[in-house]
């Protein structure tokens, strides 16, 4: 179920769906998605679907992880990247293999703790995690070359926009019942927004939980 052949089938599907960044595809091929799921769900790890991780949250669909990562990297190599919504830590692990330093914020403590263990197990050391309300970003470590938000706000928090470096880009699902993935680029005069495609994410919620 977690065999190389099963994983290869997933990569082929991502290629068929238009994912074209070879480095992103290689990282998805090598990253054991089953380790980011509870045992009862692990047998479905290499299907191209979102899967439950408890606390009413989900591990994003591989296509969405690949697409968001590809969009983040499209303007060239990245130094510091902020992720909002660590969840299982899977997107964090993918990013850590493609950029210099990842900062990731999660509001549900047990999810963050599990993610921390998994990232340690995979020896991904260029990751810093924080238990906080990601709607506020992580101002102490910014500004960031890129920000990826894996839960959907109704509108993009100003705090996140403010923590984007000049020429930095944010990939973020925006909306409620209907959501669209947006790329926001910080320019000398403000922010440019490009709408990419319809998506469905859990909502970005305020505050943090124990
Ligand atoms: N990237 C994750 C996707 C997890 S789902 C993965 O690959 O597994 C989205 C996550 O965002 C959930 O874990 C949810 O708790 C978290 N989240 C929602 N609102 C948040 C907020 N304001 N700050 C930090 N995390 C938030």
Q: Residue 185, class by beta-carbon neighbours within 10 Å (0-12 exposed, 13-18 middle, 19+ buried)? A: middle
Report the interhelical angle of 22-30 vs 4-16 (nearest 10°): 150
pLDDT in tens, 17-52: 999 999 999 999 999 999 999 999 999 999 999 999
Of all protein residues, whose CA lies closest to atom 2 belonging to ligand 1?
87
Phi, psi of 92, deg, nearest 5: -60, -45
To test the pocket of ligand 1, the residue of 36, 87, 124, 130 to mutate (highest count of ligand atoms within 8 Å of its CB) is 87
131-189: pLDDT as tens digits: 999 999 999 999 999 999 999 999 999 999 999 999 999 999 999 999 999 999 999 99
Determine the straight-line distance between the first and last CA of the chain, rounded to whole angstroms.
Answer: 34
Q: Domain extents for the chain?
A: 62-199
62-199: CATH topology is Rossmann fold (3.40.50)
pLDDT at 2 over 90: no
Q: 60 catalytic, yes or no?
A: yes
Q: Which helix (H) or strand (E) holds 52?
A: strand 51-54
Q: Which of 60, 88, 104, 189 is catalytic?
A: 60
Tell me which H or E stretch contains 186.
strand 179-187
Give the span between the Cα atoms of 83 and 61, in whole angstroms: 16
Residues with CB under 6 A from ligand 1: 57-60, 84-85, 87-88, 90-91, 105-108, 111, 133-135, 150-151, 202, 204-205
Tell me the CA–centroid distance for residue 78 and ligand 1, in Å.
Answer: 22
pLDDT (0 to 100) of residue 1: 56
């Amino acid at each position: 179920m977690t065999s190389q052949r099963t994983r290869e089938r997933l990569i082929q599907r991502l290629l068929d769906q238009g994912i074209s960044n070879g480095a992103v595809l290689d990282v998805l091929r090598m990253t054991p998605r089953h380790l980011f799921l509870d045992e009862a769900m692990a047998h479905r790890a290499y299907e191209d679907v979102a899967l439950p991780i408890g606390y009413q949250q989900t591990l994003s669909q591989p296509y969405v992880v690949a697409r968001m990562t590809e969009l983040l990297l499209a303007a060239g190599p990245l130094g510091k990247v902020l992720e909002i919504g660590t969840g299982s830590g899977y997107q964090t692990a993918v990013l850590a293999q493609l950029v210099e330093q990842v900062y990731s914020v999660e509001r549900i403590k047990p999810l963050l703790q599990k993610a921390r263990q998994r990232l340690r197990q995979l020896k991904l050391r260029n990751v810093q995690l924080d238990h906080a309300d990601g709607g506020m970003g992580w101002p102490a470590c910014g500004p960031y070359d890129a920000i990826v938000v894996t839960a959907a706000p109704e509108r993009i928090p100003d705090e996140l926009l403010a923590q984007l470096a000049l020429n930095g880009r944010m990939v973020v699902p925006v909306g409620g019942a209907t959501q669209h993935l947006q790329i926001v680029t910080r320019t000398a005069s403000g922010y440019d927004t490009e709408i990419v495609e319809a998506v469905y994410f859990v909502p970005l919620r305020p505050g943090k939980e124990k």
